Amino acid sequence: MEILAFGVQSDEKPLIEKAFAGRHEVRCLDVFLTEDTAPIAAGHEAISTSVNCGLGNRVLQTLAAGGTQLVAQRSTGFNNIDLDVAERLGMTVARVSYYSPYSVAEFAWTLGMAVNRRVVRAANRTRDFDFRLDGLMGRDMHGRTAGVLGTGKIGEAFTRIAHGFGMRLLGWDIAENPACVGLGMEYVPKERLLAESDLISLHVPLMPQTQHLIDADALRTMKDDAVLVNSSRGGLIDSQALVAQLREGRFTGVGLDVYEAEAGLFFLDKSLEAVEDDTLARLVTFPNVLVTSHQAYYTADAVGQIVDATVRNVVDYAEGRRSENVLVPRS
């Protein structure tokens, strides 16, 4: 069986090819799965997709008409896939339920500290041999309060780092994580967490209940000098409301590795094009905002685990097995 893998990054390709060697053939494409590219999959029983591929009704219909029966997503998130349509079409959908939580947690802290200590501004200055310290003053994290929204595996890893800094720990989730409680975390209502935290990091999945979890009201609840970090899903933050608050001069820093309208932008080179997204264009102009292109997961360790899990998902499908990674089972 030949698997067609969409949206493969250049660093990722050799890992995928090596992992599939001796098992199944794989063809890697750097294009993302869209309505325009879906016909390419005709004749392929199995495809693999990334989180920024769009698998809505029309795409899934095209895939099914071309004979695709398995979608093996190379991510934990799956909000880009219409699972109801996939089930109706009799398609199997699998994801990667686990990979290194440290990759995302460590990068979230990288973003938080970069905006707190003005690292990007400092680096840009020294490239021009400007070694002044004006405007570069940050704050110690020791003794301050970290608010963690979502305390699963990644949130726990983030909390352990915050504990290492010597921070007071506040958490919010539908269930308490005993490991976080053991580190001294106090679980509180979201509004209290936002009001008292000096650094807030988001680690919850995107679903209807969490869409715009950080909306205009939530942003107004936060301290004027807070640091906000999102390395989870872009739709958790109302981007237009965030821009409005930033224009009022609020927040020490905002670190965003994800953006709610990133599909069609992130992972692509748009440097020679006019970006039509006015909200994103405005966000990147603020000196206290750092935007990266959904790279928090992108370590050799995490990507290797993602690829290995994807291979297992394909092999399980081919051999008639079902694992915890299956979102829509074979009908």
Instruction: Give the catalytic positions in this structure.
Output: 233, 262, 294
Strand order in the sheet with 227-230: 186-187, 168-172, 145-149, 199-202, 227-230, 253-256, 289-291
What is the DSSP track for 51-94?
TTS-B-HHHHHHHHHTT--EEEESSS--TTB-HHHHHHTT-EEE
Distances (CA, A) of 131 to 99, 137, 172, 267: 40, 13, 41, 33
Task: Give the chain's length.
Answer: 331
Cα dihedral across residues 2, 303, 33, 206: positive or negative: positive
Q: Distance between CA 213 and CA 117 in Å, rounded?
A: 27
Question: What values do phi and psi take at 202, rounded to 5?
Answer: -100, 130
Q: Tokens at residue 257, please?
A: 């590795």
